[in-house]
Homo-oligomer: A and B are copies of this chain.
Amino acid sequence: MDDDRIDTGRSETEQAIMDATLRALAKHGYADLSIKNIGTEFEKSTSLLYYHYENKDELLLAFLDYIIDLFVETIDPEADDPDAELRNFVEYVLPPEGDLSTCESVPPGVPEPVADSGSVDPFQRAIFELRTQTVHDEQYRKKFRRMETHMVETVATLIAREMESGHYREMNAEMMAENLMAFLFRSLDVRVTGTRLESAYAMRDSVYFLLDNVMPKGSHPGEAAARDADGNDADYDG
């Protein structure tokens, strides 16, 4: 593995290869991804793929770096408005607001949760599919460890900044970040696997319960939880 080649900035051609790989992954899924169907999505000669990457494994590691970069760019620890940045980030990961109808319309017997994949960002699906490789690939594991630690620390930084500015109550920012990320990972997981889409909407309520009823100074989690217990959703209209 020539890690230098992977970690360097991307040339125009490398960028085009990454785009082609994402299109191929979205069309064929990780299991059926091949240099051949990546080449089909690539406007230039397939031989260029081999010029830039020795083999499929090396191309996929470069692609993993690429989508991790893209995911990491979805949240900025130095954003002017930390609370707004957190809300933009959770909206990027959570299912679109609404009822379960789109989810329940997944036709039974469809080999992939196609009806849902429309609402799952291809980047997010790609990240999920590549992440399953961590179980038996140390390189993948290291890359995801770095990414997940970065995401938790970025969320914790944004929370801490709102605590310092007096908008959020005093709390363990790191622990709150772990909880938010656990809800977001669960939401992403059930949407990509299609195992329990209701949970993705439950996670949406849970995330906004923290953002609106637990984290803001002067909010009243108890009362909100009581409202929730009465059968209403946690009030997350701000």
- Chain A interface (Cβ within 8 Å of chain B)? 29-31, 108-113, 128-129, 131-132, 134-138, 141, 144-145, 148-149, 152, 169-172, 174-175, 178-179, 181-183, 185-186, 189-190, 192-196, 198-199, 202-203, 205-206, 221-222, 225-226, 228-229, 231, 234
Contacts and interface: CB of A to CB of B under 8 A. Distances in A.
A134 B189 CA distance: 11
Contacts of A181: 186, 199
Nearest to A221: B221
B134 A195 contact: yes
Contacts of A112: 135-136
Given A193-B144, A206-B182, A137 B149 contact: no
Contacts of A131: 193, 195
Contacts of A189: 185, 189
B152 A196 contact: yes
A182 B203 contact: yes
Contacts of A179: 183, 202, 206
